[in-house]
Amino acid sequence: MSSETAIPRSVAARIPLRAPRSLRERLVGVVLLVCAACSVITTLGIVLVLIVETTAFFREVSFRQFFGDIQWTPLFAKKHFGIWALVSGTVLTSAIAILTAVPLGLMAAAYLSEFANERIRRLLKPSMEILAGIPTVVYGYFALTFMTPLLQKFIPSLAGFNALSPGLVMGIMIFPTVASLSEDAMYAVPTSLREAAYALGATRLATTFRVVMPSAFSGIGASVILGVSRAIGETMIVAIAAGQQPRFTFDPRVPVETMTAYIVQVSLGDTPTGTLEYRTIFAVGMVLFVFTLALNVVAHRLRQGVLKDSVQ
């Protein structure tokens, strides 16, 4: 027995093995579970808020008025609730953004994954991330005060507020999302597939387009869908540069209003809570939420598929 130590052996030996699990351990577990549950509560909160207010909205406005009209004038005396006017604005700006971001993003991804060396890759990927980190209100300023005047030199009929300029800027904003996720998917394609193609005499270019890109299809698809989802939910760029005139059009030169811009417009005004006008933003928000959620779920499924494939 060691009698010279600060803790005599007898103390250690007396530690009862049957000591109950400490209360603190259980308490901490509960507190941490509550923290983790906060994210679930947030989701439930969002869904609940949207459902409650949207239900109240549809008590006064019929589905037919909502889905069967192409005019959106809830803030005017003669009210129309045709959501398609806002949806067309969203679809138009998002389509322009996607048409900008996807070709650029895929080319960039192909280059970084298949042609660039490691040094260039490590330099360029973070630089692209800067683009995704710029606040959207800054992009909005850029679209309104730089891009639109620039484009007007080439397209004289372009209005001061239009869908084209914010669409293009939004494309630049989501370019890193598309490029980075596509690059991940292409980079993950097994080398053996490339070897097989080279063994058949294929060039690097042909291998990239015929072998790598098809193999990474679901990952690339997921990146595009996430890009679309971000474009649809993007608010400040379109609120600043696309205008506030809901209209059912696919002309990129004229002012339009997106779903997000409408929500901003109403909340900037002095709309009293509890009125029909106030509830419109929740109805629009519901449409927006359903759209983006559906896209995110599809993208998630596609990426899960990628993971499963790469395990095999």
Which of 51, 99, 134, 307 touches another protein (CB under 8 A)? 134
How far apart are the C-alpha atoms of 246 and 254, rounded to whole Å?
A: 11
Nearest-approach distance from CB 163 to another protein, in angstroms: 18
Cβ(127)–Cβ(149) below 8 Å: no
- Binding to another protein in span 4-33, by CB under 8 A: 4-9, 11-13, 15-22, 24-25, 28-29, 31-33
**Residue 218 near another protein by CB under 8 A:** no
- For CA atoms 77, 82, 85, 91, give the dihedral sign: positive
In the chain, what is the straight-line distance between the N-terminal and C-terminal CA atoms, in Å? 58
- Binding to another protein in span 251-270, by CB under 8 A: 260, 263-264, 267-268
Nearest-approach distance from CB 142 to another protein, in angstroms: 5
Which of 23, 118, 153, 156 touches another protein (CB under 8 A)? 118
Number of CB atoms found within 10 A of residue 46's CB: 14
Which one, 64 or 204, has the nearer CB to another protein? Answer: 204
Which H or E run includes 188?
none
Where b means 16+ CB within 10 Å and e means fewer, 190-214 reads eeeebeebeeeebeeeebbeebbbe
- Binding to another protein in span 181-200, by CB under 8 A: 187, 189, 191, 194-195, 198
Nearest-approach distance from CB 169 to another protein, in angstroms: 8
Nearest-approach distance from CB 239 to another protein, in angstroms: 8
Which of 59, 64, 122, 204 touches another protein (CB under 8 A)? 204
Which of 65, 71, 136, 152 touches another protein (CB under 8 A)? 136
Which of 71, 73, 152, 235 touches another protein (CB under 8 A)? 235
For another protein, what does the binding mask look like between residues 52 and 91, x meaning CB under 8 A?
Answer: -x--------------------------------------
How far apart are the C-alpha atoms of 194 and 187, rounded to whole Å?
A: 11
Nearest-approach distance from CB 40 to another protein, in angstroms: 5
Which of 23, 76, 77, 135 touches another protein (CB under 8 A)? 135
Cβ(295)–Cβ(232) below 8 Å: yes
- Binding to another protein in span 144-163, by CB under 8 A: 144-146
How far apart are the C-alpha atoms of 75 and 100, rounded to whole Å?
A: 34
Helical ranges in the chain per DSSP H: 9-13, 23-60, 63-67, 84-110, 118-133, 136-142, 148-154, 164-187, 191-199, 204-206, 213-215, 217-233, 236-241, 259-268, 276-311
